[in-house]
Amino acid sequence: MRGANPARSRVTEEVKRRSGPGPSPVPAAASPMTMRDIAVRQLQAPVYHGWPSPPDPGDLSRRVALRRAELRLTRAQVAMRARISPRYLEYLENFPSMPGAATLRQLAAALQTTPATLLGAGAEVPPGHNGAASDTVITKLFPVECRRLIAQGGIGRIAFSTAAGPVVLPVNFAMVAGTIVLRTGEGTVIGAHGEDMVAFEVDHIDEALGQGWSVLVRGQAHRVLQPGELRHLRDNVALVPWAGGKRDTFVRIVPSQITGRRIEPR
């Protein structure tokens, strides 16, 4: 056997050195996803109470949910009355949507209101613009019933006398141990009259049904100054003024007289 040519071998080695390492292996093609892979990814995706995205209620959503809460009805009860699925009602209460005219009428009937009310008609006019029912009856409310109606807190109106005359202001409130608690700011007109004899009124009007109620509380107001009581109110009472801003002055109204009345169709 003839010996290898030394010059040829040196040329071959030089070509290998200059050309660098050999080509990288071609990556294997990605295998297609199976149905099981897709299912696993769906299970790993964030889920918000059964919906693929976090709830973002629209105006209609809030009105439907609020009206259902006022009537103390479950979603299942309203869905059955409106002849829609509970799941669809849950969607309506959590996401912006516009149901068809027929569905909107059924939903309004189930909630004992009108489609126009659910859509926000009349939001810029005072309540009662549509007039009262032709035949109504007024009933006086006992104090225990008055307390029940305002127990959840909400929006009321405080009235007091000033040097310029009587003043009535809307304010949100909470009920704490049988007293009315307001949260205001230092230097506000309510804070300035936090030691006065005041009146406080709360009401609810249902124009669709031609009925409503009002509760009037009279009593002495006191500014809450005791540190322990202030800490308790800040930490345990869900009272966030609509006006916003720094409002660390608490005013408590101790009722001395509670009256109320209800008006409804005969």
Q: Which residues form the domain of 221?
A: 136-265
CA-to-CA distance for 209 and 233, rounded, in angstroms? 37
The CATH number of the domain where 142 resides is what? 2.30.110.10
253: in domain: yes
Q: Indicate whether 114 and 215 sit together in one domain.
A: no
Please indicate, yes or no, whether residues 98 and 159 belong to a single structural domain of this protein. Answer: no
Task: Answer whether residue 87 is part of any domain.
Answer: yes
User: Does any domain span residue 2?
Assistant: no
Residue 187 confidence class, pLDDT cut points 50, 70, 90? confident
- Work out the pLDDT band at 265, boundaries 50, 70, 90: confident
- Greatest mean pLDDT range, 3-7, 112-116, 169-173, 254-258: 254-258
Work out the average pLDDT over 113-125.
78
Q: Across the chain, what does the average pLDDT equal?
A: 81
Examine the domain organization and report whether 66 and 110 are in the same domain.
yes
Last residue of a domain, one of 118, 147, 168: 118
Question: What integer is the mean pLDDT of 15-23?
Answer: 51
* CA–CA gap between residue 133 and residue 128 (Å, rounded): 10
| Reported pTM | 0.58
Across the range 254-258, mean pLDDT stands at 96
Residues 110 and 230 placed together within one structural domain of the fold:
no
Do residue 198 and residue 242 come from a single domain?
yes
In a domain, 246, yes or no: yes
The helix/strand/coil state of 222 is: strand
128 confidence band (pLDDT: 50, 70, 90) = low
Q: Is the pLDDT of residue 105 over 80?
A: yes
Task: Give the mean model confidence (pLDDT) for residues 114-125.
Answer: 77
Q: Is the pLDDT of residue 49 over 80?
A: no
141 in any annotated domain: yes
Whole-number pLDDT of residue 45: 46
Share of the chain above pLDDT 90, in %: 38
Rounded mean pLDDT, 7-25: 52
Q: Is the pLDDT of residue 81 over 60?
A: yes
Q: What is the mean pLDDT of residues 236-265?
A: 86
Percentage of the chain beyond pLDDT 70 is 74
Residues 96 and 159 in one domain: no
One domain, residues 242 and 185: yes
- Name the residue type at position 224: V
pLDDT in the model for residue 54:
80
* Same-domain check for residues 75 and 141: no
Mean pLDDT of 40-44: 50
Residue 41 resides in a domain: no
Is the per-residue pLDDT at 209 higher than 80? no
Q: Count of domains in the chain? A: 2
DSSP E strands in the chain: the ranges are 136-141, 154-162, 165-176, 179-184, 197-206, 211-223, 249-265
pLDDT of residue 33: 56
102 and 176 assigned to the same domain? no
Task: Please tell me the predicted confidence (pLDDT) of residue 35.
Answer: 54
Give me the mean pLDDT over the 109-124 stretch: 82
| 101 compared with 4, residue with greater pLDDT | 101
Residue 149 class from Cβ within 10 Å (0-12 exposed, 13-18 middle, 19+ buried)?
Answer: middle
Alpha-carbon separation of residue 237 from 114, 153, 229 (angstroms): 34, 11, 11
* Contact present, 116 and 122 (Cβ < 8 Å): yes
Q: What is the pLDDT of residue 10?
A: 57
Kindly state whether residue 165 falls inside one of the protein's structural domains: yes
**Range of weakest confidence among 28-42, 79-93, 107-121:** 28-42
What's the CA gap between 214 and 202, in Å, rounded? 6
Q: What confidence category does residue 195 fall into, taking pLDDT thresholds of 50, 70 and 90?
A: very high
CATH code of the domain in which 91 resides:
1.10.260.40
* Strand pairing report for 154-162 and 165-176: antiparallel
